[in-house]
């Protein structure tokens, strides 16, 4: 299984600390040695780095880890290949344009039969089931909305699409249009919100510690989502399977889920709930 890392913040924020913990698992402390990628949003667009080499030994990963690229929204991924060869084309996160915005997507899990879902506009470059799922989601959004819909309407639609894909297997996902970072838990995801008073944090997989009080302002708010906790001395919250979080400006703006599981009733939402 691959591992995911996402961040939403209300001010441009340096993610090097969390990325160092994720990268260490990419062929170092973990088996995810089949490539990695990271995307940093700047307005509606995104700056991305990809490498089919293990993150723990990648020169590009070291470059990213040594430069304070600050962003309000970040998506990162380390890959353990199950479907598709180890190539640059198969490294996440994947990106496409929709409604004048760059959408970015990363996925953890396997989706049986996903390639039977018809694609009308977007097509995959690589051979992973993940990229096919991403293209299908954007196809569906493009068909249903002529322009960018209001956040609550888009939140509900992405929940419906994520729930359908989750029925095909394991679907842990990060998705963003720069305005919102979506995190859908199909099996395993955890999240953490950092806000004042900030304290120290220590990475689980690397001998590295940071005092966020020295790096942040009193009004900063940052939410991090990962496959599993990255630090040993912070309170991470497990996200319930079947739940979609919509993160905006560093906090959980909406928590959505369908009841009962597998049903087709409208999504319920709780808003502005800390992770």
User: What's the pLDDT at 263?
Assistant: 47
Alpha-carbon span 139 to 267, nearest angstrom: 21
CATH class entry, domain 3-271: alpha beta
* pLDDT digits 0-9 by tens, 34-65: 789 999 999 999 999 998 888 777 888 888 88
CB atoms within 10 A of CB 186: 24
Which entry of 2, 135, 221, 275 is annotated as an active-site residue? 2
User: What's the pLDDT at 55?
Assistant: 76
pLDDT confidence band for 275 (50 / 70 / 90): low
- Over the range 128-140, which residues count as b (16 or more CB within 10 Å of their CB) and which as e? bbbbbbbbbbbbb
CA atoms within 13 A on the CB side of 142: 17
pLDDT confidence band for 152 (50 / 70 / 90): very high
Answer with the residue of higher pLDDT: 208 or 73: 73
| Residue range 135-152: mean pLDDT, rounded | 97
* Separation in Å, CA 215 to CA 150, 163, 218: 33, 38, 10
Closest CA to 244 of 181, 202, 169: 181
Three-class DSSP category at 101: strand
Domain residue ranges of the chain, discontinuous segments joined by +: 3-271
pLDDT confidence band for 271 (50 / 70 / 90): very low
Answer with the residue of higher pLDDT: 98 or 33: 98
Query: Above 80 in pLDDT, residue 267?
Result: no
Q: Give the strand pairing for 181-185 and 243-248.
A: antiparallel
Three-class DSSP category at 66: helix
Cα 34 to its chain centre, rounded Å, is 18
- 221 in catalytic set: no
């Amino acid at each position: 299984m691959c591992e995911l890392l996402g961040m939403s913040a209300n001010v441009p924020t340096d993610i090097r600390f969390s990325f160092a913990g994720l990268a260490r698992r990419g062929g170092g402390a973990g088996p995810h040695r089949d490539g990695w990628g990271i995307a940093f949003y700047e307005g509606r667009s995104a700056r991305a780095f990809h490498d089919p080499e293990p993150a723990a030994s990648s020169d590009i990963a070291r470059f990213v880890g040594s430069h304070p690229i600050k962003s309000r929204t970040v998506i990162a991924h380390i890959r353990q290949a199950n479907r598709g060869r180890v190539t640059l084309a198969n490294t996440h996160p994947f990106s496409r344009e929709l409604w004048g915005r760059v959408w970015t997507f990363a996925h953890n899990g396997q989706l049986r039969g996903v390639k039977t879902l018809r694609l009308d506009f977007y097509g995959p470059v690589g051979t992973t089931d993940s990229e096919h799922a991403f293209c299908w989601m954007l196809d569906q959004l493009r068909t249903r909305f002529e322009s960018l819909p209001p956040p609550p309407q888009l939140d509900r639609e992405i929940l419906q699409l994520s729930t359908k894909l989750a029925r095909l297997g394991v679907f842990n996902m990060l998705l963003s249009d720069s305005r919102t970072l979506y995190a859908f838990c199909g099996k395993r995801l955890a999240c953490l919100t950092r806000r004042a008073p900030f304290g120290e944090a220590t990475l689980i997989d690397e001998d590295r510690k940071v005092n966020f009080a020295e790096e942040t302002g009193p009004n900063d708010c940052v939410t991090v989502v990962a496959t599993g906790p990255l630090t040993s001395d912070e309170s991470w919250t497990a996200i319930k399977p079947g739940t979609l979080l919509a993160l905006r400006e560093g906090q959980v703006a909406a928590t959505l889920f369908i009841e009962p599981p597998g049903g087709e009733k409208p999504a319920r939402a709780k808003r502005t709930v800390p992770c």
